[in-house]
Structure 1
């Protein structure tokens, strides 16, 4: 598969929306609104004074119960609409056959190409005028043929015609110039391939034809067609014939929604049930249901709401300013995308929900229950999944929020005793867990939070009037248990965040680096040479990554798995060969295909074993689109020896890519080359090791392999220097130092 085909495949596997939403400004603004709502709604019950009205259109000041059972028509209507809205839009598939268009095209080509009375230029004009119209003509004919059938509505046919025609494909003009030169044998072979490709792709439900068209090149290149011209023509004609086959059925959707409305059970307020809840707006329908019940009214002030809104905006500002200031790499690329922001929002939501749940059990008689809240859950999760410094900033937000939520003094807004305890336990948990390499560290962090929380509560109690013994014991006990609950919750929640958001935490990386992992055991037993090479690459890449502030652990574990694809054909890779090299007896193009396939094979194996995407990316990207020059020049020499002109280019002897998208993938790629190159040196010296490393980095830089990641020239220099030092440390006994070289020369 050539590089263009691979890029098409990658684009098909990763839809643009999946990547664009993470950087979308609109999504980011929506998340900011969610943050404000989260703060506002959590603080509103504790800060906004409640007032009630007894007039129409205002809020009720008390619960009003029903004296007999009756239907709540408003609630019933809302339930019906909710039921209707819950019905997903129904889509219907239609038996569209793109192969019919292709057969018509190839029939026309067969007949016209055999007509010697028509000149080539006239044939080109005929093809240019007729072939593009076959697509719309087929759609119109399908509408005419199926119009009036009971199983296909006119609205569906109209929707099909509109959508299908809007997704028509414009065949490039150069294709029509190639058609007159096609022989009957070529046309027959092309027809078979094109029809098979169209049938295979149209067998699935297609909403967007462009998605299926993106897969055409890969299928055609894997077909029996060997000539470039016939492949290109088949690709374009197949793309032209493909069309969506699944469309929104508005009639069926509306019918299903109406059925959902009819099947909705009426909402009945039973005798003794609440008709108007405290604070609910009283409508005319409610007044009719109340049947003369009295109403309570009063004026309402909106200044507290404004104050709370400003407070919520300030909380948001604190978080966003920190994220902007510390979360930009080199002042250019944002470190935190919308996925990270949503995960941060979700962590805040969970932590505040735990506080609110604890506050429900709190009362003025037992205020110390507030110490039971596992407030450090949020800061520990942020530390493990995002960033330690962000966790520190968040701990202040949690502390202020907690001091409001757990406050029971109507004369105060904040009770800073709870805020101070939350700060202390959060800090103790952060600095215990931020370098966690085992899940048992989370338990240790919970124990530290328990101890520091109990000590902090004891200090606060001793500063005021000494409470009774029971209150003292309860306060200390709740503070201590809080840390243990925190550890249990974090251990339970970590896998959820890791799987849901694709976060590769340090804990997960350490687990994946275990030599007993099935893939690493497979690598060791089946390809010991590759295993040793991967371990060496891991040591080199980790040192280089840490030197520039990248994720060294990710580089090391990624290196362990980066060549796992070699286990499919171990004998074709030099580190696993002990005798004859099989590449000496096969075609260079086949050798190239085998070598480049290990990256793709590795990604598939990693997917099958559920290895997270960052590690799969390293396996896929560590070679980028680099060239296999050895096999290219070998192929050129063979062509020269046979006296034929090469029918290939150097680009066909490149890895399919993509290029490294992250610093870590680029570093592993450099370390991979460096380790292999050093191992190939018979008598390595410091000078030729340094020269070799510089040459590898410069070669990749000149080839544009770092264009899609954020490595700077300064960082590349640092990587080169670090790799030199690491290589000297690892291969110490093999590398000759300048003094040793001089001594040997003197002895000689």
Structure 2
């Protein structure tokens, strides 16, 4: 069939259904339900009940608080005053500095006993090792006590910093005096030095210099008579003396935090009476009512109008996307009807219901419980059951609505944190289930939601003030649990939508394409020829469907089952007649016709018995449409002529009972079925023969009005023809003869 032929012939479109699935009234009712859903979901969060009360008047009613409210201004001021009154906290660190001076004298005694080491080398060693021992002594103390309960890490850090900052510098001449000491002198000096250091370090020292100033007096009153010995001991004692009282930042902060916590806030609990009947509205009471959001200057309908407009904006976003993308358009490109719009409404209702339930148990104290909401539930269901791009658009709506629902700040309409998290997890879920082929993909998507949700929540919390570790753990845990809850809900709800709306999701189709399915196993074992034919038809139909934007996976799986009825009488179909005579040669053409035509009806019955979804049953029932079995018709005519009788039948008696193809997918499978059988019947076909045969098959069906009840256009038929030709050439390439004048290029070099 040439392009001119296809473009000059019109394809009749299906008549518009008058049922609710295609009715305009039902569509407008569903759109109104969307507005009501948005309004009802957001009304508790955007339209609080308020009272018309003036300052200085007498209240004519009793007013109770609908929520707990703190007088934050007064509370914060009181807490700050309490924190400022807390004195800085200092802690004593027992360094046991006498150990350092013992180490130094021990090293001096050891090195001075080494005769092989020269005097200058000993001086150099002391000059290097003694400062190193100071630092090592401090670091070892920090390392030893870092994981103990005695000192906090911040206190040890402060101690190390202060001790190193106040390190005493030993005069250079002292290093030259040390190699001259004898063992006896070292022993006497060590005893005096240890005693001096222990005595001075028993005091609480913030500044080591105050203790070092007393070293000379204590050394001079000791038993040491030698002047040089007293000088060396004094220098080393000063060196070993360190501060032992340090500012404890953690203890100070804890004391200030405790002081704030001990400050009693002014709290109005939910249900408390704010104003009694007959009470004077003073300025304090008025501010309290204002803080609780209970005041209005007059009857104000603007919030209701604003919410209504917001709901309409949400609806318009969905509606315009559906119209622009052709999903709900009234033309031949319409993808879904009112049944799918109802399913979209139910998904929105379920998602908003789960979010509303979580928002009801969310409190100021448990604000992070909002991250538990399985907000990605709607995005995953829409992506799996309807359309991926529609799921992305709806994810933005869910994020916006969530930022309103979980907002606990009365001063702002949105809390972007929740909206950001919902958007992140929704898009992550959509990408995770994109082209999903197994149920386990939903669980993987739930894990992705958990991971992305946890990371996004913790990322947001890092930008604020330092939060307690417990709150970080709670927030991350809620976000992680949200993904698992989402996966459980999706897995539980998917069968409901698939059964209730007859939806064949990609997951269900892949399950049905499993060769271990009882029907496919029966087809393979009992009719291997038909099985191979069905697989080939699946390859052809999938390619043709994808070329025009139809459901390629449905075509492939439908092709697997389209001839399942042949398993009742396998030997009567030519692809299964291996090494046997054709039984049709010995029976009447009318009986042959009845057997052949029955395979479509038998297939539908078998598919129903195995609960195969209706779209696949429709393909099995409609792939032949009402075409005529011309071979048996002409055979019957010849037999009647041979017997000299007038035929008591017409061509219509040899037609399939139909119905004609009602969908693009059924029509495509029917074309691919004929094309595969026709090409298989050719011996060494050429590309010209294949192209001519495909065009002839499509043209014959078009002339026979087989496409009158589906919405295939001429342009799409032309695309199907071209795609089938390319696919057939790819599948049967080894059997195709190419024209003689096509010569391979000579090999270069």
Query: Structure 1 length normalisation: TM-score?
Result: 0.63
Q: Is the 8 A contact 1:437 1:507 kept in 2?
A: yes
1:627 matched to 2:628: yes
User: What is residue 528 of structure 1 aligned with on the other side?
Assistant: 528
1:326 matched to 2:325: yes
User: What is residue 693 of structure 1 aligned with on the other side?
Assistant: 694
**1:334 deviation in Å?**
2.3
C-alpha separation between the residues in 1 aligned to 2:407 and 2:485? 22
- Paired residues in the alignment total 494
User: What is residue 670 of structure 1 aligned with on the other side?
Assistant: 671
1:609 matched to 2:610: yes
Helix, strand or coil for the counterpart of 2:607?
Answer: helix
User: What is residue 258 of structure 1 aligned with on the other side?
Assistant: none
**1:551 deviation in Å?**
1.0
User: What is residue 47 of structure 2 aligned with on the other side?
Assistant: 48
User: What is residue 28 of structure 1 aligned with on the other side?
Assistant: 27
Pairwise mapping of residues 33-182 of structure 1 onto structure 2 (< 5 A)?
Answer: 33-51=32-50
Helix, strand or coil for the counterpart of 1:602?
Answer: helix
**1:52 deviation in Å?**
6.8
Helix, strand or coil for the counterpart of 1:708?
Answer: coil
C-alpha separation between the residues in 1 aligned to 2:478 and 2:400? 20
**1:327 deviation in Å?**
2.5
**1:459 deviation in Å?**
2.0
1:708 matched to 2:706: no
C-alpha separation between the residues in 1 aligned to 2:343 and 2:640? 57
Pairwise mapping of residues 228-377 of structure 1 onto structure 2 (< 5 A)?
Answer: 300-328=299-327, 331-377=331-377
User: What is residue 728 of structure 2 aligned with on the other side?
Assistant: 727
**1:451 deviation in Å?**
1.6
**1:394 deviation in Å?**
0.4
Q: Is the 8 A contact 2:548 2:719 kept in 1?
A: yes
User: What is residue 517 of structure 1 aligned with on the other side?
Assistant: 517
Deviates most, 424-433 or 644-653: 644-653
User: What is residue 541 of structure 1 aligned with on the other side?
Assistant: 541
Q: Is the 8 A contact 1:53 1:59 kept in 2?
A: no
- Cα distance change of structure 1 residues 444 and 19 upon mapping to structure 2, 3 Å threshold: farther
User: What is residue 459 of structure 1 aligned with on the other side?
Assistant: 459
Q: Is the 8 A contact 2:16 2:22 kept in 1?
A: no
C-alpha separation between the residues in 2 aligned to 1:385 and 1:440? 16
The one-character-per-residue Cα deviations of 1:437-463 (angstroms, maximum 9, x if unpaired) are: 111111121111122112211221122
Q: Is the 8 A contact 1:53 1:61 kept in 2?
A: no
C-alpha separation between the residues in 1 aligned to 2:431 and 2:464? 29
User: What is residue 145 of structure 1 aligned with on the other side?
Assistant: none
C-alpha separation between the residues in 1 aligned to 2:429 and 2:61? 45
C-alpha separation between the residues in 1 aligned to 2:16 and 2:547? 34
User: What is residue 500 of structure 1 aligned with on the other side?
Assistant: 500
- Cα distance change of structure 1 residues 467 and 450 upon mapping to structure 2, 3 Å threshold: same
C-alpha separation between the residues in 2 aligned to 1:298 and 1:613? 60
- Cα distance change of structure 1 residues 698 and 17 upon mapping to structure 2, 3 Å threshold: closer
C-alpha separation between the residues in 2 aligned to 1:516 and 1:684? 34
User: What is residue 99 of structure 1 aligned with on the other side?
Assistant: none
**1:485 deviation in Å?**
1.4
C-alpha separation between the residues in 1 aligned to 2:330 and 2:561? 29
C-alpha separation between the residues in 1 aligned to 2:634 and 2:406? 75
- Cα distance change of structure 1 residues 365 and 324 upon mapping to structure 2, 3 Å threshold: same
Q: Is the 8 A contact 2:379 2:395 kept in 1?
A: yes
**1:739 deviation in Å?**
4.3
C-alpha separation between the residues in 1 aligned to 2:455 and 2:339? 37
C-alpha separation between the residues in 2 aligned to 1:355 and 1:18? 37
**1:648 deviation in Å?**
1.5
C-alpha separation between the residues in 1 aligned to 2:333 and 2:22? 10
Helix, strand or coil for the counterpart of 1:738?
Answer: coil
The one-character-per-residue Cα deviations of 1:603-641 (angstroms, maximum 9, x if unpaired) are: 111111100011001001100111111111111111111
The one-character-per-residue Cα deviations of 1:316-358 (angstroms, maximum 9, x if unpaired) are: 1111111111134795342221110111111111111111111
Q: Is the 8 A contact 1:623 1:659 kept in 2?
A: yes
1:596 matched to 2:597: yes
Q: Is the 8 A contact 1:498 1:505 kept in 2?
A: yes
**1:53 deviation in Å?**
10
Q: Is the 8 A contact 2:407 2:413 kept in 1?
A: yes
C-alpha separation between the residues in 2 aligned to 1:52 and 1:618? 64
C-alpha separation between the residues in 1 aligned to 2:592 and 2:669? 23
Query: Structure 2 length normalisation: TM-score?
Result: 0.63
Pairwise mapping of residues 193-204 of structure 1 onto structure 2 (< 5 A)?
Answer: none
1:573 matched to 2:569: no
The one-character-per-residue Cα deviations of 1:488-529 (angstroms, maximum 9, x if unpaired) are: 211111111111111000000000001111111111111111
C-alpha separation between the residues in 2 aligned to 1:381 and 1:580? 53
User: What is residue 256 of structure 1 aligned with on the other side?
Assistant: none
**Structure 1 segments (4+ residues) deviating >6 Å:** 16-19, 58-63, 740-743
User: What is residue 583 of structure 1 aligned with on the other side?
Assistant: 584
1:636 matched to 2:647: no
Helix, strand or coil for the counterpart of 2:21?
Answer: coil
**1:51 deviation in Å?**
3.9
C-alpha separation between the residues in 2 aligned to 1:59 and 1:541? 74
Helix, strand or coil for the counterpart of 2:733?
Answer: coil
C-alpha separation between the residues in 1 aligned to 2:722 and 2:527? 30
Helix, strand or coil for the counterpart of 2:624?
Answer: coil
Helix, strand or coil for the counterpart of 1:352?
Answer: helix
Q: Is the 8 A contact 2:504 2:613 kept in 1?
A: yes
**Structure 1: segments with no counterpart, 5+ residues:** 1-15, 64-296, 744-748
C-alpha separation between the residues in 2 aligned to 1:592 and 1:60? 87
The one-character-per-residue Cα deviations of 1:55-84 (angstroms, maximum 9, x if unpaired) are: xxx999679xxxxxxxxxxxxxxxxxxxxx
C-alpha separation between the residues in 1 aligned to 2:46 and 2:322? 28
The one-character-per-residue Cα deviations of 1:695-732 (angstroms, maximum 9, x if unpaired) are: 11111112111122122222222212221121122222
Q: Is the 8 A contact 2:555 2:669 kept in 1?
A: yes
C-alpha separation between the residues in 2 aligned to 1:436 and 1:399? 23
The one-character-per-residue Cα deviations of 1:251-271 (angstroms, maximum 9, x if unpaired) are: xxxxxxxxxxxxxxxxxxxxx
C-alpha separation between the residues in 1 aligned to 2:458 and 2:626? 63
Q: Is the 8 A contact 1:429 1:446 kept in 2?
A: yes
- Cα distance change of structure 1 residues 740 and 510 upon mapping to structure 2, 3 Å threshold: farther
The one-character-per-residue Cα deviations of 1:148-197 (angstroms, maximum 9, x if unpaired) are: xxxxxxxxxxxxxxxxxxxxxxxxxxxxxxxxxxxxxxxxxxxxxxxxxx
C-alpha separation between the residues in 1 aligned to 2:531 and 2:512? 15
**1:663 deviation in Å?**
1.1
C-alpha separation between the residues in 2 aligned to 1:740 and 1:666? 37
**1:416 deviation in Å?**
1.2
User: What is residue 717 of structure 1 aligned with on the other side?
Assistant: 718
RMSD (Å), alpha carbons:
2.6
Helix, strand or coil for the counterpart of 1:436?
Answer: coil
